[in-house]
């Protein structure tokens, strides 16, 4: 694909996600179904629109930011819909938002433009050929959407049941924030390593990354 301007690519992606968020929120508000089902249907509809846009832009990586955008929006909508915030529920949504922001920033740093697609998607495209559109929809987009939604259900039911604070909740919040901070450190170390190396096949064996199973396996 011809090289694209990074700023223009960011602008296009931003407009795509504004449209996707508006569609998801509209469907969520319009559906008279159970809260969990309304969220799921809106989530899938938003994913379908992202898929359409990724097809039009000829880049499956248009979906990549969805990983970090989806969780804060789902739990945020749940909290707003319930209308009974407390410290526990607010802190949960903020913790998930912090995790999502960390992942979004890392994506922004590593995003070079719409001319580049995740190398794993390139391999899938080579192997699937004319069926790649279906692989993109079901494997790259719908499946992760369902997985992330399922992972959010404990937080969803926590909010539905009134939230609140107890030692278990405090521990959980600390794990979320602590894990995101650990990922933030690892992101910085990896970005520094890549800037200093020309050989993209070389592995980072220091810092947080020295504890990764992938690195240990290749030592």
Dist. CA 182–CA 212, nearest whole Å: 12
Q: What is the mean pLDDT of the chain?
A: 91
pLDDT digits (tens, 9 = 90+) for 30-47: 998 899 999 999 999 999
CA-to-CA dists, residue 44 to 91, 141, 142, angstroms: 26, 9, 7
Question: The pTM is what?
Answer: 0.87
Is a pLDDT exceeding 90 seen at residue 215? no
The percent of residues in the chain predicted with pLDDT above 70, rounded, is 95
Dist. CA 149–CA 178, nearest whole Å: 22
């Amino acid at each position: 694909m011809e090289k694209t301007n990074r700023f223009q690519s960011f602008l296009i992606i931003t407009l795509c996600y504004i449209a996707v968020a508006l569609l998801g929120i509209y469907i969520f508000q319009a559906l008279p179904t159970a809260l969990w089902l309304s969220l799921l249907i809106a989530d899938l509809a938003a994913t379908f629109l992202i898929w359409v846009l990724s097809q039009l832009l000829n880049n499956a990586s248009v979906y990549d930011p969805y990983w970090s955008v989806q969780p804060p929006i789902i739990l945020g909508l749940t909290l707003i819909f319930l209308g009974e915030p407390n410290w526990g529920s607010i802190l949960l949504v903020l913790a998930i938002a912090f995790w999502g922001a960390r992942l979004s920033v890392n994506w922004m740093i590593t995003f070079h433009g719409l001319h580049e697609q995740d190398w794993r998607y390139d391999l899938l495209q080579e192997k699937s050929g004319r069926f790649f559109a279906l692989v993109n929809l079901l494997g790259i987009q719908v499946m992760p959407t369902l997985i992330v939604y399922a992972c959010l259900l404990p937080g969803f039911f926590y909010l539905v049941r009134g939230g609140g604070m107890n030692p278990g909740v405090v521990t959980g919040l600390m794990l979320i924030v602590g894990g995101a901070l650990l990922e933030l450190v690892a992101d910085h170390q990896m970005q520094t390593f890549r800037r200093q190396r020309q050989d993209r096949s070389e592995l980072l064996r220091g810092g947080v990354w020295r504890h990764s199973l992938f690195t240990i396996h290749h030592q």
